[in-house]
Amino acid sequence: MSEQKTKLKQVLLKERLAKISQRKTIAQTPDRASENIPAKLTEKTAERYDTFPLTDIQQAYWIGRNASLELGNIAAHIYAEFLCVNFDLDRFSRAWQTIIDRHEMLRAIILDNGQQQILKQVPPYQIKTIDCSQSDRTNKELELKQLRDRLSHQIHSTNKYPLFEVCAVKLDEDNTQICFSFDLLIADAWSFESILKELSQLYQNPQLDLPLIEISFRDYVLTVESLKQSSSYQNSLNYWQKRLTTLPNGPELPLVKNPDRLKNPRFVRYNSYLKATETQLLKQKATQAGLTLSGLLLAAYAEVLTAWSRKPHFTINFNPLQSSPPYIPKSIA
């Protein structure tokens, strides 16, 4: 997962805090963590299908599904729909099966003891199909809404394969709606985009020979776990454990209802977009100040939260995305 792919850089960062404090901006701090990233992972092919630990972010997602937690009883999840013209279900099914066979984390499950396991063999995946081609417009929209309501907040059983669902809704002779329900326990948003790209390539060219994926996510996770024994990691851990006692809570925002009373929370994403010219201008301003565009937008976000928060001093958590070691990109997790 993206958070774990960057951990190799983060946990071994040997830049002393004293040196960092001498620099005026983050932009002046070089990324030296890559010097400490192993050139190659130790492959353990014989143990490929043995259990292995969850990553930190996986564990957070897994625990967060618990209905007893505040705002629990919900999964970290992706739902997406695509309208396809002149859709060939058989060709699509073969392409999707190739993706499942190719990316082992699509065959992963989470055991009740909190360990994960990649299944060596799984039954062929059957894409659920719904034929609405003979229905009127009202009934088509109703059918899609019912499917969307079910899939968009789906909570998969983590100890059973698969942790995803793909449905095809035939709207008429020419148009088919493809619906993806995807649990982020087995792959992050970046991986989902990569999957869709490969799926499109395989659908358009069934004979396509994609590059071999040499790395196992299990080997990667175990390598990250071994790095926790390093002095750099322990120094970072000690620092943040002490720092936690001084960090404020999250922003105290006005609420319509106490979160404890929400038994089946539903999340809605609201989007707003900047024009390309506006984005470019902001990027130039950020560069002039020695900042990144992401950092500038995060600061603006914090300012807005400050206007609504009961206390102006609060903590914001986010997962940083950075470049990964050369052996990571094609591995889905």
Instruction: Kindly report the backbone phi and psi dihedral angles of residue 191, in degrees, each rounded to the nearest multiple of 5, phi listed first.
Output: -65, -40
**pLDDT at 220 (0 to 100):** 87
Does pTM surpass 0.85?
A: no
User: Residue range 14-29: average pLDDT?
Assistant: 42
Q: pLDDT tens-digit profile of 236-280?
A: 999 999 999 999 999 999 999 998 888 888 888 888 899 999 999
Q: pLDDT tens-digit profile of 37-68?
A: 554 666 777 889 999 999 989 999 999 999 88
Tokens of 114: 């909190």
**pLDDT at 5 (0 to 100):** 45
Inform me whether the pLDDT recorded for 22 exceeds 50: no
- The domain locations on the chain are 2-269, 270-309
**pLDDT at 332 (0 to 100):** 60
**pLDDT at 288 (0 to 100):** 95
Helical segments of the chain, H only: 2-5, 7-10, 17-21, 56-64, 89-102, 137-152, 189-204, 217-227, 231-244, 276-288, 293-308
Q: What would the DSSP string read from start to end of 92-119?
A: HHHHHHHHHHH-GGGGEEE-TTSEEEE-
CA atoms 90, 95, 101, 104: torsion sign? negative
Beta bridge partners of 109: 117
**pLDDT at 268 (0 to 100):** 85
In this structure, the number of other CB atoms found within 10 A of the CB of residue 333 comes to 28
Q: pLDDT tens-digit profile of 206-229?
A: 999 998 887 889 998 998 888 888
Q: Position of tokens 């989007």?
A: 271
Q: How confident is the model at residue 81 (pLDDT cuts 50, 70, 90)?
A: very high
**pLDDT at 3 (0 to 100):** 46
**pLDDT at 42 (0 to 100):** 67
| Cβ burial 22-42 (10 Å sphere, 16+ → b, else e) | eeeeeeeeeeebeeebeeebe
**Strand, coil or helix: 34:** helix
CA separation (Å) from 275 to 282, 288, 292, 294?
Answer: 11, 20, 18, 16
Inform me whether the pLDDT recorded for 23 exceeds 60: no
Tell me the residue type at 245: T
> How far is Cα 212 from Cα 214, in angstroms, rounded to an integer?
6
Q: How confident is the model at residue 155 (pLDDT cuts 50, 70, 90)?
A: very high
Question: CA dihedral in degrees (306, 311, 313, 318; nearest 10)?
Answer: -60
In this structure, the number of other CB atoms found within 10 A of the CB of residue 56 comes to 13
User: Residue range 129-144: average pLDDT?
Assistant: 95
Instruction: Kindly report the backbone phi and psi dihedral angles of residue 81, in degrees, each rounded to the nearest multiple of 5, phi listed first.
Output: -125, 145
Q: pLDDT tens-digit profile of 163-195?
A: 999 999 999 999 999 999 999 999 988 899 999
CATH architecture of 2-269: 2-Layer Sandwich (3.30)
Q: Position of tokens 């695509």?
A: 82
Q: How confident is the model at residue 31 (pLDDT cuts 50, 70, 90)?
A: very low
**Strand, coil or helix: 180:** strand
Contact 266, 151 (CB under 8 A): no
**pLDDT at 273 (0 to 100):** 92
Contact 40, 143 (CB under 8 A): no
